[in-house]
Structure 1
Amino acid sequence: MTEQLAPMPADWQRALAVVAHPDDLEYGAAAAVAAWTDGGREVAYVLATRGEAGIATMEPAQAAAVREREQRASAAVVGVSAVEFLDHRDGVIEYGPALRRDVAAAIRRHRPELVVTLNHHDTFGHTAWNTPDHRAVGRAVLDAAADAGNRWIFSELAEQGLAPWEGVRWVAVAGSPRPTHAVDAGPGMERAVESLLAHRAYIGALTETDPEDYVRGFLTSMTDSAAEHFGNRPAVAFELFPR
């Protein structure tokens, strides 16, 4: 990250965040979501899976129920009440027309100007290999932003009452190794910590570190790393794709 990050656009009212798993948004983007909802904007969440394969010590059916509850509680902390699940299989999400159709349908339902997703690139920070689910969903979101406005792609959606929506103006990718824009993380930071802490079952299986120390340390490190490129303010960085 060598360039200065521009402020994220502010002239919009509705956003839709589409990611693979419960917790994907909380590992970074939640501080931005809190700032947006504080400003009176509407944000909805769509999760491709229920994260059922994410806890090694818990059977998938049980994990799915736990992680759904945690995701809804987590979203509420940052002012998000609309949380939907597409029920693709955790760990083996397939990029292709079926996933693009589901995301395009969600975009048509919610009619956002801004769509948010998680890193679709091969790596995080150029060194840590990204997961297949993140890559598949991120790519599908970038493609579905166009699909949602094309009446001849997934035309069956219109027959289901979902008219084409050409109003997506940007797709913002959180966690990208190639960020271009940022949101000041300061106003939403404490709620971002609380939001990630809501995933207690997942975090408890992930680390033996005290949960609050783990969460605060991770989010502080992430937002501080963007600060030197954003006026020395802790920030949530995004790679922004205008449309």
Structure 2
Amino acid sequence: MTEVAPAQLEPMPDDWRRALAVVAHPDDLEYGCSAAVASWTDAGREVTYVLATRGEAGVDTLAPAECGPLREREQRASAAVVGVSTVEFLDHRDGVIEYGTALRRDIAAAVRRHRPELVITLNHRDTWGGTFWNTPDHVAVGRAVLDAAGDAGNRWIFPELTEQGLEPWSGVRWVAVAGSSSPTHAVDATDGLDRAVRSLLEHRAYIEALTDQDPEEYVRGFLTGNARETGKRFGDRPAVSFELFSR
């Protein structure tokens, strides 16, 4: 039987100026799509990061009161490597984020503040490729981002935001999900891959707690391996994939 080749990925839209990336934890974007972010900021586009937590429950050997500030510092340094200067934290509790109106409202407020055309998040489905179980935080935040992109444009869903001076924003044109097992689009990672490696390496405390492997060897192997595999569906160029939802 002839094996069917996987469908090729389309290039991500490039007719936008502002993007907002909303994820659960420090390091989520670095594992998911920072090579794409580097290429976007190189092109003069503005990318802002919003994190639901400070990742305070992410290192077993560090108490949350110590871990949270450390991981915040690592995230800010990591973002700077790929040209992102604005990093905000919503201060939901790491590990127990709840999907619901409070989370949607916080993300809708961020969308109204930053007024992006493109919103980015991480895999919101139950599994990673049907193989590994996803974390509740990723599922809750990813799903809330998809909903809040619409909430941000409706003045009657969270009227208190308008009272706070955050006018509705209906300008979100797409929500892009990194790490999806059903990708539709991709970004060439050739120019951004080395900075993506350096960006993830800024999360050294987390990585050193995660693996006994040399941090640079681990990070470079993970990111280049994923980019190479994605590139098989994108003209054999290293790439970062997204599942793109139009609005």
**TM-score calculated relative to the size of structure 1:** 0.99
Is the CA contact (8 Å cut-off) linking 2:32 and 2:122 kept in structure 1?
no
Post-superposition CA distance 1:150-178 (Å, at most 9, x none):
01010100000000000000000000000
| Native 8 Å contact 1:21 1:48 kept in 2 | yes
Runs of 4+ in 1 over 6 A off after TM superposition: none
Post-superposition Cα deviations, 1:114-173, rounded to whole Å, max 9, x if no partner, equal 000000011112211100000000000000000000010101000000000000000000
Contact 1:176 1:238 in 2 (8 A): yes
- Partner residue of 2:177? 173
Distance in 1 (alpha carbons) for counterparts of 2:32 and 2:101: 28
In 2, the alpha carbon distance for the partners of 1:106 and 1:225 equals: 33
Structure 1 residue 28: Cα displacement: 2.7
Which deviations, in whole Å up to 9, do the C-alpha atoms of 1:42-67 show, x marking residues without a partner? Answer: 00000000000000000001000000
Residue number in structure 2 paired with 1:237? 241
- Confirm or deny that 1:200 pairs with 2:204: yes
1:77 to partner: Cα distance:
0.2
* Paired residue type of 1:155: P
Residue matched to 2:195:
191
Q: 1:23 Cα deviation (Å)?
A: 0.1
**Alignment-derived partner of residue 127 in structure 2:** 123
Quote the Cα distance in structure 2 between the aligned partners of 1:167 and 1:27.
27
Report if the CA contact (8 A) 2:22-2:120 is conserved. Answer: yes
List aligned pairs for 1:1-243, cutoff 5 A: 2-243=6-247
Distance in 2 separating the partners of 1:89 and 1:2:
39
Quick one: distance in 2 between partners of 1:2 and 1:165?
37
* Contact map agreement 1:119 1:138 (CA 8 A) in 2: yes
Look up the equivalent residue of 2:154 and give its one-letter code: N
Alpha-carbon shift at residue 232 of structure 1 (Å): 0.3
Aligned length: 243
The answer (yes or no) to whether the contact 1:120–1:135 under 8 Å persists in 2 is yes
1:12 is matched by which residue type in structure 2?
W
Deviation at 1:2, TM superposition (A): 2.1
SS in structure 2 of the partner of residue 25 of structure 1: helix
CA distance in 1, matches of 2:164, 2:12: 34
Question: Is contact 2:109-2:161 (8 Å) kept?
Answer: yes
After superposition, the C-alpha distances for 1:195-218 in whole angstroms (9 at most, x for unaligned) are: 000000000100010000000000
TM-score by length of 2: 0.98
Please state whether the residue corresponding to 2:93 is helix, strand or coil.
coil
Contact 2:20 2:50 in 1 (8 A): yes
Identity %: 76
